[in-house]
Structure formats: C-alpha cells, structure tokens
Structure 1
C-alpha cells in the first residue's frame, strides 16, 4: 500500500508540490507524468523518505512518514527501493561487487544465484568484473535497477528509469515491472514516455505546476477525455486545461 494525502513541499519560497493526494494498492503500477517542473521528482523523493514533506501524511509500505523519525525511515528502507534518473553508484566497486554489497545488506537468501540471474536478464553478465566508472549511462541504469530488484522490494519507485536504455533494455524493464507487480509490489514509474509505459501502468498520476491534475485508472482517463485515442493524447488534454 502507498498512500499520499495532501502532500505539500515548500523550498523556501517555492511551493514545489501543492496538496497532492493519491493511493495505490499492492499489484498496481502508477505512471507519474507531467511536464518538467511539475513536482514529480520531489513527490518521489518525499515518498522515498529522502526529504521531509512540509505537510501532509504519507504511508509507504506500512510506514508512517509524517514525522520522518529515524525508526520509520529505517523500516521503510527494508521494504522500498528508489532508483533516481541518474543513480549514484560506488566508483570503487565492480558490477558484481555492487550486487554482493546489496545482497549482504539486505541479507538476501541465495543472493549469488539471484544476482547472476538479474545480471543475465539485464544483459550485464559480461560486465560483472567491470568498474562502475567504465559503464555507459544505460548500463549504470540497468545495474541500479538490478540492485533494486535483488531484495524484492514491496514498493518500487523508478524516476525516469528508461533514460539511456536501449530498446531491449526498455522492454526487459517493462516486462520486469509487470512481473513484480503480479507478485504484489506497488510501483510508481515517473516518465515523459507515456506511449511506452501505457501498456504496463494500471493508474495515472498527472501533475502540473505542483498540483495533481488527474488521478485514476487508465479507463477513467479515457472516459474523461473520450476524444483522445491514446493515453498520450488524453494526457495532453488533461494538462492543457491548466491555466498558466
């Protein structure tokens, strides 16, 4: 379960997120979409416990983040994985050492076999001994995603995960999110590429100017904008109603 109630985030005088509310059940994949500066990344970082909300109530993987106390944040980290658009890796570790490190931290059973399976799936098996600094942008993204999958999080937040990925990498990412959701995980994918993720997402979270413009399942958006033949067209109609 993931619940966001009246989330507000103020950076000094800039209100980045203004009263955003939505909730997703286990097994759901929410597409968080909106133009640059809409507040998507700030929302994701608040949900991940990386920055405190100015006000509002957040419940993520059974953890209340209202007070952002240390015990709640530690418990959250046991159940949540957050992959930013430019994931920070450890420069001194190889691909294989990253997987070993994450596997040990989360005490993953059969971590060696799971690591090998994930690296093979994301086409990184031949890079197991390569240093993080030698990887391309897309490979770094794949490694971060593989690390996130290793401990099977109950909540997965992916911020622009397709940045730098090649077409096979995008297909494997989308297939894997669908399988993870089938296993009961709650997933949010922030992306500008709505046409690519519309086949896997069950819900849409449309933001603009820090506010929630639409939240609901895919069919509801189509019903609200019947003239749109694709979700992308419906998205443009939803965001074009906002007064600049």
Structure 2
C-alpha cells in the first residue's frame, strides 16, 4: 500500500532547543493515527512543520509522494490548529467562499451547506468571525479544512472548546474520512478518543518518538483491563 504521508528523520531546532529530534513515521490511506505526548513533547511543532508553517531543520516530509513544499502536496493537506484563527471581518459563508476560490473548487455550495447544518452553524452563516465563540470558530475551521477534500488531515487538539454535540459530529466526520480512505493525524490529550478512533498511536516525549504501535499492540502491552492511558503514563514517566 502506498504511503500517504512519509516523515523521515524530522528535526526542528530553536537554537539549542530540540523541539523535534529526529522522528520518522509513515501513514497509509484510511488510517487514523493518534499523536500523543505530555505538554512540550513537540506534537504541535510536528504538525506545523508537516504543514510547512514552520521551517524544518533537517529531514524529509512527503505527501502522496510529493515534497511537502510542492503545490500538489499543499492541495492534499489540511490543518486544523488548536487555536481557531479565522478572519474577523469575513462572515462564516465568506470563509467557505474563500476556501473554494483558493482551491478552485466547483459546485461546493451544497456540501458547505450540509456541513453548516451538521455543525449547527446555519443560523451563523452571515455572522462575522469576530462575533463567534471559540467553539464556533473551531467548527468553521473544521469545515474549511474538509471542504477541499484533502487526503491527510492534521488535527491539533480539535475537541477543545467544542460542545458535546459538535464533539460527536467531529468524531463521526473522522470515521467518515477513514471510510473514504483519507488519513487523519490526531494530536490530542483526550486519550479515550484516540483509543476509540485510532488505528495506531505515536507517543512523543521531549521531541523524540518513544513508542509506536497499533491500538491492538497497545492494549496487549497495557495488559488485561489496561488502557491507552495506562501505557501512556508508563512510557512517559
């Protein structure tokens, strides 16, 4: 099976601080991979570097065989940051329009409306970004990320700030993406979500990849009645 995302010996240094210290992993179509670790482990830095928002110090990142800086690679990636950063003076609908123009999408309106309905944003369609709560801004970012049908979605703490209905909706969306053969790299502290949604898990600590395994292997390693949380606490202590 062809790799959809390939990260080799990735390093990101800030002076002497090694935010990412030589991590390597691959992702395949239809896979949900949990990227977990304590605060300061390098999870957000990893996602931002894959996305090209931070300049890597060393290493190789390929998306569907293209170098991550290649225009083709950019079309196949979407990133939902932890802090939803939307345009304050654009309406919710104008955000959708902006994405459609950026990615040269056709006949996108119907799908955008479906997403707005699913995420309870129909009544906010003409509301300016500046007037939205954090949870609503998060929902707008998720929809903008989904609209151009990327092959790989990078989520950084996506459940923070969402109400229970939106969390359920997002989990359903992730399951749907998986069914469609898309890949999801999910960085979160909500380990039960990784346990329920994930196929594999990557555990980072101080910029290094200290554990990688399938959820099946994780549960075996955690022992009878054990959980991902037990293993996480064991390997990161």
1:226, distance to aligned residue in structure 2 (A): 1.9
Task: State the distance in 2 between where 1:182 and 1:173 align.
Answer: 14
Output the aligned Cα RMSD. 1.3
Give the equivalent residue in structure 2 for 1:16.
19
Give the equivalent residue in structure 1 for 2:140.
143
Indicate conservation of the 8 Å contact 2:222/2:228, yes or no: no
Task: State the distance in 2 between where 1:224 and 1:29 align.
Answer: 20
Give the equivalent residue in structure 2 for 1:125.
122
Alignment of 1:55 onto 2:58: yes
Equivalenced residue count is 234
Q: Which runs of 5+ in 1 are unaligned?
A: none
Q: 1:214 to 1:177 in 2, by over 3 A?
A: same
Q: 1:38 to 1:227 in 2, by over 3 A?
A: farther
Q: Which moved more, 1:145-154 or 1:221-230?
A: 221-230
Task: State the distance in 1 between where 2:191 and 2:111 align.
Answer: 30
1:61, distance to aligned residue in structure 2 (A): 2.9
TM normalised by structure 1 equals: 0.92
Indicate conservation of the 8 Å contact 1:61/1:155, yes or no: no
Give the SS at the match of 1:198: helix
Pairing 1:1-244 to 2, within 5 Å after superposition: 1-65=4-68, 68=69, 72=70, 74-226=71-223, 229-240=226-237
Task: State the distance in 1 between where 2:205 and 2:155 align.
Answer: 19
Q: 1:2 to 1:190 in 2, by over 3 A?
A: same
Task: State the distance in 1 between where 2:148 and 2:183 align.
Answer: 14
Indicate conservation of the 8 Å contact 2:84/2:134, yes or no: no
Per-residue deviation, residues 60-100 of structure 1 (Å, max 9, x unmatched): 232224xx5xxx1x222211111110122111100011111
1:227, distance to aligned residue in structure 2 (A): 5.3
TM normalised by structure 2 equals: 0.95
Task: State the distance in 2 between where 1:15 and 1:24 align.
Answer: 24
1:155, distance to aligned residue in structure 2 (A): 0.8
Give the SS at the match of 1:199: helix
Task: State the distance in 1 between where 2:9 and 2:225 align.
Answer: 29
1:23, distance to aligned residue in structure 2 (A): 0.9
Indicate conservation of the 8 Å contact 1:84/1:158, yes or no: yes
Q: Which runs of 5+ in 2 are unaligned?
A: none
1:228, distance to aligned residue in structure 2 (A): 5.7
